[in-house]
Structure 1
Amino acid sequence: MKKILYIGNKLSKHGNTATSIETLGEFLEKEGYVLYYASSKKVKVFRMLDMIYKTFKHASKVDYVLIDTYSTYNFWFAFIISQLCRVLGVKYISKLHGGDLPNRLKKSTFFCNLIFNNSYANVAPSAYLFNRFNDYKYIVKYIPNTIEIDKYNFLERSFDYPRLLWVRSFSTIYNPILAVKTFMELKVIYPNAELCMVGPKKDESYEQTIEFAKKNNVEILFTGRLSKKSWIKLSKKYNIFINTTHFDNTPISVIEAMALGLPVVSTNVGGIPYLLEHDKNALLVDDNDLEAMVNEIKRLFNEPDLPLKLTHNAKNLISEFDWEIVKNQWKELLQ
């Protein structure tokens, strides 16, 4: 069976949200692939050094190096490892992440060319990134993000009053403050409204969001990071999933929400319009548009047939993200 070195941020043991290196890596292991990983080091410098060390250590015995490729400082991890793979003569696959990666293509064209023109494959998990990379004439293959759909219990919700669920790392780019502002506006109309925010701290936006809620005297449930099993169980209490991000690609949390039967109200940034269609399988608003976010949520209580239409269309959509389907695309690539 093929052997793979997976390079990425394997940081869930430090309280971070599990990323592709842990989810896809586990899926591939279940299919019989042998995987080595780098890195779970918390400090960035040590993580980079560990990635370099593991690449030297495993290059001669693996068939591929799979590299999670992001748009911010982690882009340079991908650049260094990809060029090391070239020197060592091992095939590498760039797995593309992040709604802001197209901006990296503009800002760092020279370095992007070195990575993406020399890879064995560039894998885009969304039509959004697939199209943007095609624009730059890179050879790219579309393989969507994936979940095991049979592990998600699709529930039809009651729409008595708003019970909002937000699931994401607390990072400025995900705009958690908008969730609180939306909740405050809804409380005026629906005094019983609830908001639960699930996710670990990633930057100062965590404290800022809590402080903003306290300052405005609104009660919100902040759970911190939860295991997938725990937040799925918690989701049964809620009836709307909100996604407030400034940048996005194809967020797994949104796909999971649809699998659970939660209607999604999201900003229409990055790859979101390539995943969701307004008024068909979700409700979409412009970035940071508080008034529109509130109004679209109100529609779910004022238009009785709307929640059922959205959730059932969403259920049909997510079938293509099931691992039992997606795994065949990975097997074809790695054969």
Structure 2
Amino acid sequence: MISNSFWPATDHCARRLEQGRGVLVPAKDDRALAAGVHALLSDCVLRAELAAAARRFAADNYSLQVMARRHEELYRELLKEKGFKPGSHSHSAAKIKVAIVAPSLRYVGGQSVQAELLLHNWKDDADVEASILAVDPELPTALAWLEKVPVLRTIVREPLYLYSLYSRLAEVDVAHIFSASYWSFRLAPLPARFIASLRGKLALINYHSGEARDHLQRFPEAVAVLKKADKVVVPSPFLQNVFQEFGIKADVVANISDLSQFKFRLRQPLGAKLVCTRGFHRYYAIDVVVRAFAEIRQQIPDAMLTLVGKGPTEQQIRELARTLGAQGVTFAGVAARDIIGEYYDRADVFINASVLDNMPVSIIEAFASGTPVVSTCPEGLQYLVEHERTGLLSAPGDVHALAQNVMRLIREPDLAERLAHNAYEECRNYTWEAVREKWLQVYRQLMVGQA
């Protein structure tokens, strides 16, 4: 945007065009106006930066969700002035009490991060009172040594979890149960669903695993449990479609991304610093990432790759990097939520090679950081990344195609810039402002159904 200063909007306009959101020129100064237009037409980087800042400002201040919240605050103030007391006229004004049954942040993972974000954002909310009920409660001090013994710690922890479910669910209206697949489903969501029913509470199963189709085919009791849940919610249309194959109705509420942790910037010029923030698990195919990087490094000797995460295949990946002679690979380990944004900010390209996926928050984080995304396209990911609009996609397992897409971004900076802008706009769909009303609607539908 370019505008002149005019009365009485001069101060108003100046405030909105400050901080790089547009160009403001003196009133009735044709030359200054022409110079401003010329500056924008001749500098594509400046145009892109101003446009991105303006979009962020509009989304942060004038989106439907923001304006709805402001009107709600205004109405509350007016009602307060009139002596209206919340809850005095309608039973529905009472807060909905929700227990978020999910893994704790002691083991950083997608579900634990999403649960923590829900808990954080519901804090002091006018409509919902949320608490966390960990599926992995801390062991007593005398048994703390069991944390290092995988199977045994689960056997000992399960009775503690069941006791916590029985005692805590008595205090809430809704059990919001996070769910993965296979044996994890049997150990956590299944007993939570049963005890919620025993306690006469509403059970919402929030299913996150990209392995849903295989899980439901191999574990028919999971289909029965999901069908009997009061509501099933999934984070993507991909999982919604999978569930339909088994006759399970599911609503879609997207994952949340805390954009305040990430700083959007354009890479000018785009370098060859790559980052992957996926765990070392077979379905994330970190070996394909390393092989693609080795190919890239043959063309760009100073290319670098940072792998952020841990998992069971880490040692194999380290050995593969040594075997390929892939210099420039850094194993950064698990990054805490408050510093993960630094890894995206230092990188030029986000690279992902998963063979099975659903709605990875890591890609949304890359969107928010302006880090162009190069990824494989397992079935679930195509609902998040659109080829040549928000990222570049290739077939799972195709090392050469993955490497060539990275090289294409480096050779075509205009494409990288366009992808970064489009992706940033896409990540707005995953903010708390966009997601809150959907969760509130789900909870209210449950309460109305119970009534």
Cα distance, 1:307–1:127 mapped onto 2, change above 3 Å: same
**Residue of structure 2 equivalent to 1:7:** 101
Cα distance, 1:219–1:148 mapped onto 2, change above 3 Å: closer
Contact 2:133 2:165 (C-alpha < 8 Å) held by counterparts: no
2:321 to 208, 213, 216: 213
1:276 aligns with 2:369: no
Distance in 1 of aligned mates of 2:337 and 2:249: 34
Superposed counterparts of 1:1-335, under 5 Å: 1-10=95-104, 12-14=105-107, 18-31=112-125, 33-41=129-137, 43-76=153-186, 77-109=188-220, 111-199=221-309, 201-203=310-312, 205-217=313-325, 218-335=327-444
Shift of 1:160: 4.8
Shift of 1:15: 5.8
Shift of 1:14: 4.5
Could you give the per-residue CA deviations for residues 172-222 of structure 1, whole angstroms, max 9, x where no partner exists? 2211111111111111000010000111x221x111111222233323111
Shift of 1:143: 0.4
Distance in 1 of aligned mates of 2:197 and 2:300: 59
Distance in 2 of aligned mates of 1:288 and 1:144: 27
Shift of 1:16: 5.5
- In structure 1, runs of 5+ residues without a counterpart are none
Could you give the per-residue CA deviations for residues 46-97 of structure 1, whole angstroms, max 9, x where no partner exists? 4433331111102221111111111232111212221232233221110011
Shift of 1:44: 2.5
Cα distance, 1:272–1:14 mapped onto 2, change above 3 Å: closer
Contact 2:307 2:332 (C-alpha < 8 Å) held by counterparts: yes
Cα distance, 1:182–1:310 mapped onto 2, change above 3 Å: same
Structure with the higher helix share, 1 or 2: 2
Q: Under a length normalisation based on structure 2, what TM-score does the superposition of the two structures give?
A: 0.70
Contact 1:100 1:270 (C-alpha < 8 Å) held by counterparts: no
Higher mean C-alpha deviation, range 130-139 or range 44-53: 44-53
Contact 2:212 2:242 (C-alpha < 8 Å) held by counterparts: no
Contact 1:155 1:260 (C-alpha < 8 Å) held by counterparts: yes
If you compute each CA radius of gyration, which structure gives the higher value, 1 or 2?
2
Contact 2:100 2:130 (C-alpha < 8 Å) held by counterparts: no
Shift of 1:329: 0.8
Contact 1:182 1:290 (C-alpha < 8 Å) held by counterparts: yes
Could you give the per-residue CA deviations for residues 19-64 of structure 1, whole angstroms, max 9, x where no partner exists? 3222223222353523131233453234433331111102221111
Could you give the per-residue CA deviations for residues 115-164 of structure 1, whole angstroms, max 9, x where no partner exists? 21211210110010111112322221110001133442111013453110
Q: Which has the higher contact order (CA 8 A, sep 6+)?
A: 1
**Residue of structure 1 equivalent to 2:44:** none
Residue identity opposite 1:131 in structure 2: N
Higher mean C-alpha deviation, range 207-216 or range 294-303: 207-216
Higher mean C-alpha deviation, range 159-168 or range 125-134: 159-168
Pairwise CA RMSD = 1.8
Give the share of equivalent positions with the same residue, in percent. 25
Aligned residues: 331
Residue identity opposite 2:115 in structure 1: I
Local SS of the residue matching 1:60: helix
Local SS of the residue matching 2:223: helix
Shift of 1:311: 0.9
Residue identity opposite 1:246 in structure 2: V
